[in-house]
Amino acid sequence: MGIDYTKRPQQPAQPPAAQPPPGPPAAGAAPVSLSKVTLTKAAPSVSLTKHGGQRGVLKVNLNWNARPPAQGGFFKKLAPPTNLDLDLGCLYEFSDGTKGVVQALGNAFTAADRTGKPLLRLDGDDRTGAVSAGENLTVDLTDPSRIKRVLIFALIYEGAANWAAANAVATLQPVGAAPIEVRLDDPRDGARICAIAMISQQNGEVTVQREVNYVNGAQRALDEAYGWGMNWARGRK
């Protein structure tokens, strides 16, 4: 099946530079909570600046149930369940105006700003669901001022558009701070793409905002919903 992807120059796949471990908090600084933070409708956002994990490489993990149980009558239940192939990706806009998409489609696994510094990297494409670690994306926040906004999304590339059966969860792991969890609940059947969370930077403060917004269509529809303003073409893995 054809899915939208944007044409963009390919960047060599390379991990962000290793960061030194965080040092001890400054004297008088508030202690950093290591309890997991779950973003919900009632509490949809968290400041990484106040959370203690603004600087360093932020890791985003997507995990899901790759083989949901068969639904329907007796004979349908005897049939093997259909595999779900979810893809992790993001739309990005850097502070220098660079825009694009990071995803498996089109082999767009990395993104760099105009200086050539890689700021985003997708580790690969798990097409079978056999990788227990799911799919992972890194966001280099060593210098947060380089980032304007990053919209994390998940796309059902293969299988029925059944988010409830996928039971997907995204976990953002900042350096030296508690993980931030966003569950893809409140599903909308038939929608193939879901905006999970928005990472944005303004006046030096980095914020993670829960979205969990299911959109009918693919990446082009997501772009239109969030006003990214890119040109799209059809593509395949």
Model confidence at 125: pLDDT above 50: yes
For 3, the token pair is 């899915």
Residue-level pLDDT at 236: 61
Contact call for residues 237 and 157 (beta carbons, < 8 A): yes
Higher pLDDT, 44 or 162: 44
Q: What is the pLDDT of residue 159?
A: 67
Bridge partners (DSSP) of residue 195 are 153, 213
- What pLDDT shows up at residue 39? 97
Distance between CA atoms of 23 and 49, rounded to whole angstroms?
16
Q: Work out the number of other CB atoms within 10 angstroms of the CB of residue 134.
A: 19
Which is higher by pLDDT, 217 or 3?
217
| pLDDT (0 to 100) of residue 50 | 82
CB 86, CB 116: distance < 8 Å:
no
Residue owning tokens 């603004």: 54
Q: How confident is the model at residue 28 (pLDDT cuts 50, 70, 90)?
A: very low
pLDDT 10s digits, 145-171: 999 999 999 998 876 778 888 889 999
Annotate 197-229 with DSSP letters as a single string.
Answer: EEEEEETTEEEEEEEEEEESSSHHHHHHHHT--
3-state SS class at 96: coil
